[in-house]
Every structure is written in C-alpha cells, then in structure tokens.
Structure 1
Amino acid sequence: MSKRDRQRSLSVPLRLISAGQLAWSATVPASALLDPDSRDALRIADVEVPLDSNLDVALTLEMIGGGLSVAGEVTAAWTGPCARCWLSLEGEVRTTVREVFTAQPREGEQYRLGPEYADLTPMVREAVLLELPIEAIRCPHPEPCPNLPAELAEAREDAAEGGPAALADPRWEALEALRGQMDEPS
C-alpha cells in the first residue's frame, strides 16, 4: 500500500502498531465514509457533510489486552440552511473519539477488529454524524438579516414594536404572562 493510498483510507494495518502504540493521521474524502450497503449521504435533517470535502483524522492507536484502543480527533466541514433566510451556511464539526475495537465486539459498545486491519470508517462516520447540528442554525448576519424575505422582515419589525405580529400565536400568551410576572420586582 502506497503512502498516498494510506492517506486516503481509514484501514490501518495492525503491523504498524507492533510497538504497542501508533500516532496516526489521515485526510480522507467524505465520500470514503459512505456506507457501501446503503449509500446514504452523510446527513442529519438539512445539515450534511459535502461528499467532495475532506475529513481530517488524528488518532492514537494502542494495542490493549484483546483489542485496540483508539483515541483522538476528527474534523469535518458541513453545510446547512440558515434558520431565518434559508441561505446555505458552512461550518466545521470537531469531535473527540475514544473507542475500543475487538475481534468479538459487543454491539453498540465496540467496533470489529479484523485480523490484519482496523477499519476505522464506521467509527469516524458515526462520530461525525453524531456531532452535526440538528437544530435550526442561526444566521451569522446581524439583525435584521439582509437576506430575510420582505414579508418576514416586516413581521419581525411588528413584533419588535409590539404590533399585531407580537402575539400572533395565542399558544404563547401564557408564556408571555409568566415572563411579565418574572420581570416585575418582588
């Protein structure tokens, strides 16, 4: 296996860890994380890791009794829509991993360790997907957002001035009453 192939793969030959511990890093395309059985995108709701982007993986692999301990950091870029103006935003997810690989893994607790290689792909894929933002992403633009459609910008202005849009949804009236009680001095 050439150095270039190793840099683009998340399969680590166990012979490289013969001294007991290995500091290992790679830059791999996000497309390498696709599950070959499902070919699902690296996506949670509207947020995804672009398949043409790269992930950086920096790990320490250590042989332990009956398996392999893997600890380190994974970094990936993501894209998703703004919660206000729906323009595409970009961000970065950085996650710490600490996992165990064994020949006989317990489902949901460990990863499978092959006889000659440790395939880190499932671990990296799960770590990235678990760190992607799943709630509405705040727009980086200051208020008012220059990309906000005019009808939404007008509704925000009415709400800020206490106009008809301020209590447009009657389900929030009870919360507003509680807020008013909390603002009153005791």
Structure 2
Amino acid sequence: MNPPTVTEAASGFVSIDEVAAVMERLSSADSARLAQLARLRCLGAVGLEWQDLLHEAFIRVLDGRRRWPRDVPFVAFIAQSMRSIASETRQADMVEFGALTEHEFGDDHGTVNVVARTDITPEREMAGRQMLIEIEALFAEDAIGLSVLEGLARGDSAGEVQAQLGLDPTTYASTLRRIRRRLTNYLLPTEA
C-alpha cells in the first residue's frame, strides 16, 4: 500500500489506497449494514438493484469521483454516497418517464416545475393502497407512531409534528427510530 500523498493528507481526504485497504477489511456486520442500506435506497428507483447501487458507490470512491473525508466513518460515507446515487437515478427516471414537466399558472405566478407520475397503472395504484393498509396495520398498536407517519406524509416539519402531538425532541427521536425499525423489518424481512 502506498502512503497517502501530501495533497491527500493535507486535504483531509482518505487516499484511494487507504480506501481499498478499508474495503478489503470490511467486517461482515458492516457489509450487512451496507447491503441493508442499499436495499432501502433502491426503493422507488426503477431498475436499480441494491448490489449495483453498492458497487457503484464503491467504484466512485475508488476512481476518485467521490472523496472520503477523514472525519467521516466509512459506512456513513458509503451510505451517503448510495443516497446520492439513488437520488440521481430517481431524478433521471422522472425525466425519462415524463414526470417532470413545466406548467404555466397564468400572468402573476410564472412557471413552476410540477411533478406528476405518468406511469401509474391500476395495478400499481392497488399495490400502493395495499401497502398503506399494511403499514397502518403495522402501527395499529402504536397511535403515536402512526400519527408521526401521517404528519410526515403530509409534509409537516419535525417541529410541527412535535407541536401537534405534544412530543419532546427525545420522544420524537425515539418514535422515529421505532418507525424506522418497523418499516425496515416490514420492507426487508430478515432471511432465516
């Protein structure tokens, strides 16, 4: 392994050789965590498989397109890279499927971008409704969790949800962790 160059060390970024060494020594727990995160990030991205997303994140850091800051843990850095790549993919999908269009709102309002799904089929709509029913059933015994989810679905901010439900920041954070765990177990059941 080559030592980091002066530029890499001074810039606060990990060298490509160091990245490769970290990837070779990645623990099975970290590998499993990254796989789970990749699966979650692929939701809603047409044709993007979790393995491809994870590999693309690795490739981008190894070829220098993404640089790993020394003060960021590797798993967190790769997770953020996957988030960015999946977001780029979804954005490209929206353009490809014609979901991003410009719409005129008259003289005083100017032009705005309107996001409209044009590829919704009756089957996809039924599947979406069924998923909502199943998610509501997941939280049937957790009124606070369901209320937080509903607030977030409306687009309310964290502060607005906390105020509406009378939650302090700690209880709100705990509720979000509980929601995340339940949804993760629902969407990505562990293999026996």
Asked if these proteins are the same fold (TM beyond 0.5), I'd say: no
Greater relative contact order (Cα < 8 A, sep 6+)? 1
More strand by percentage: 1
TM-score range, shorter chain: under 0.3
Structure with max Cα Rg: 1
User: What TM-score do you get using the length of structure 1 for normalisation?
Assistant: 0.28
Q: Is the helix fraction higher in 1 or 2?
A: 2
